[in-house]
Amino acid sequence: MKTYSKTVLVIITVFVVYTLLFSGYIYYSFSNFAFTDFYKRLELRVSTTAVMQLGDAQESVNVEEVYKDYLEKLPHQKEYIIPLTKAGKDTVRTKGIPKQLLQDALNNGKANFNQGKLFYSALLYKDKQQQEYMVVVSAENYFYNHHITYLRNLLITSLAFSVLLIVIVSHFVFRTLIRPVRNIINEVNKIGSENLHLRLVSPTSNNGDPISELTNTFNDMLNRLETSFETQKNFISNASHELNTPLTSIMAEAELALSKKRTSEEYETALAKILEEADKLEQKTKALLYLARTGFDGKSQKFSKVRVDEILLEVKDNLQSVNSNFKIKMDFSLLPENPEKLKIKGNGPLLHLAISNIVSNACKYSNHQQVYLALGASDNSVVIIIKDHGIGIPEREIQYIYDPYFRASNTSNYEGYGIGLPLSRNIILMHKGELIVRSIEGVGTTVQINLPIGDYKL
């Protein structure tokens, strides 16, 4: 049985049981009221009948007037006056009156009894001559016989309609609740390794409900997965690009030296150049290995208190060691007096990778002009500004800069793979931060990174 069917069945069962108990209580209460109220009416008529038939003349007249004015005749009402003798009490028999009623009345002085549609009330009464009589009044309880039956049928009909209504409502409510989950499933099925940049859109506006929490949790997982994938691609692209130049120089110099016989001085010069390029290769290899260690595997990386200013200094030194043409100017004029405001809870290597990608792009696309790297802090966040005077980004293309592999139309003369900025953005999002890019084509680009201060959970 499907979850939907089980849920609807449980709701219906609970509702039916509750409705049966509630209807049974109502039916029992009204039925009991009908008995009690009708017996009181019969007892009143028994008393007035006894006075009218067996009391003195004046009293009988007074009671009869009251009886006629205020007491209506009950359906099929009959009165019985039965004289009793001391010797014949135990053998009283009257046709049409139940034996049990007579016996209870003789024992208790009065009694009520019900047989089928008829209700009886009996009373022992003594006149002024001390003659004892049994007065009995019988009538049909119209309310019980008709209204209670109507109430029972009404409750049964209401129960049937209620069950139908609860089935419809359950179906509607369940479909309404399950539709967002089905939409999430459909969206998840569209996401694969080739389009990890896609994210789920919460079907509800309430950020506190389970559906929104599920959507946010899954998006956080996608951020981690995409970061892991893009980190690997970032390392491969950096390795292929950075290692190619010194390797080409080494191979070219070696081939040139071996192309013909050389003097000792020429061999020494060639070996010196090879050694120089090998040293560059070693430095770049160390830098790339450092980048490789920043890969996010979802398990080994831990978040701790890190100082952002130290990360920026490491980024500057690392990039300039990889490429000596990079010109980076640090601006710490906006640093807060309290160094604690420069500490955030995050992953140092990942933040290093994110900032390194952005600063590297700024240097590359500004033709190695000077890039400004500034740091400041407010009460709630640490702010990093990276500004260049490079080629900028066309206004119509800014909306696509976070799509993996996208490269602006004016970057054809620059090497790149279009994965650095999306990777950096994912890392910033993992740290609950914000990445803002402002750019004017031909003027330059300014990137602002806001990282919150506080012990938030990731």
Query: What are the tens digits of pLDDT across the range 222-243?
Result: 877 777 776 666 666 656 666 6
pLDDT at 236: 66
Rounded to 10 deg, the angle between the 308-322 and 348-364 helix axes is: 50
Euclidean distance between CA atoms 68 and 55, whole angstroms = 17
Euclidean distance between CA atoms 217 and 210, whole angstroms = 10
Given a contact cutoff of 8 angstroms between Cβ atoms, the answer to whether 410 and 395 are in contact is: no
Please determine, for residue 288, whether its predicted confidence score (pLDDT) is greater than 80: no
Return the SS3 of 137. Answer: strand
Local confidence band at 438 (pLDDT 50, 70, 90 cut-offs): very high
Overall pTM > 0.75? no
pLDDT at 373: 94
Please determine, for residue 71, whether its predicted confidence score (pLDDT) is greater than 90: no
Domain map of the chain by residue range?
Answer: 3-148, 215-452
- Nearest C-alpha neighbor of 78 from the set 139, 142, 144: 139
Please determine, for residue 89, whether its predicted confidence score (pLDDT) is greater than 50: yes
pLDDT at 312: 93
Please determine, for residue 91, whether its predicted confidence score (pLDDT) is greater than 60: no
> Over the stretch 337-387, which tens digit does the pLDDT of each residue have?
888 888 898 888 889 888 998 999 999 999 889 999 999 998 889 999 999
Euclidean distance between CA atoms 219 and 213, whole angstroms = 10
Measured in degrees and rounded to the nearest 5, phi and psi for residue 380 equal: -115, -20
- Nearest C-alpha neighbor of 241 from the set 293, 296, 284, 283: 284
- Nearest C-alpha neighbor of 88 from the set 120, 49, 134: 134
Q: Of the ranges 183-187, 301-305, 453-457, which one carries the lowest mean pLDDT score?
A: 453-457
pLDDT at 330: 92
> Over the stretch 387-409, which tens digit does the pLDDT of each residue have?
999 999 999 998 888 876 678 88
Higher pLDDT, 318 or 87: 318
Q: Give percent of the chain above pLDDT 70.
A: 83
Length of the chain in residues, anyone? Answer: 458
Please determine, for residue 299, whether its predicted confidence score (pLDDT) is greater than 50: no
Please determine, for residue 42, whether its predicted confidence score (pLDDT) is greater than 80: yes
pLDDT at 77: 86
The CATH class for the domain spanning 215-452 reads: alpha beta
Please determine, for residue 287, whether its predicted confidence score (pLDDT) is greater than 60: no
Q: Confirm or reject CATH 3.30.450 for domain 3-148, answering yes or no.
A: yes
Q: Classify burial at 364, counting beta carbons within 10 Å of its beta carbon; exposed 0-12, middle 13-18, buried 19 or more.
A: buried
pLDDT at 392: 93
Instruction: Find tokens 């990731």 and name the residue.
Output: 458
Return the SS3 of 201. Answer: coil
> Over the stretch 200-229, which tens digit does the pLDDT of each residue have?
877 665 566 777 888 888 888 887 777 777
pLDDT at 458: 44
Return the SS3 of 439. Answer: strand
| DSSP state letters, 390-417 | S----GGGGGGTTSTT---TT-TTS---
- Nearest C-alpha neighbor of 15 from the set 164, 154, 155, 172: 164
Local confidence band at 296 (pLDDT 50, 70, 90 cut-offs): very low
Q: Which residues of 379-397 are buried (b: 16+ CB within 10 A; e: fewer)?
A: eebbbbbbbbbbbbbeeee
- Residue 436: its H or E element: strand 434-440
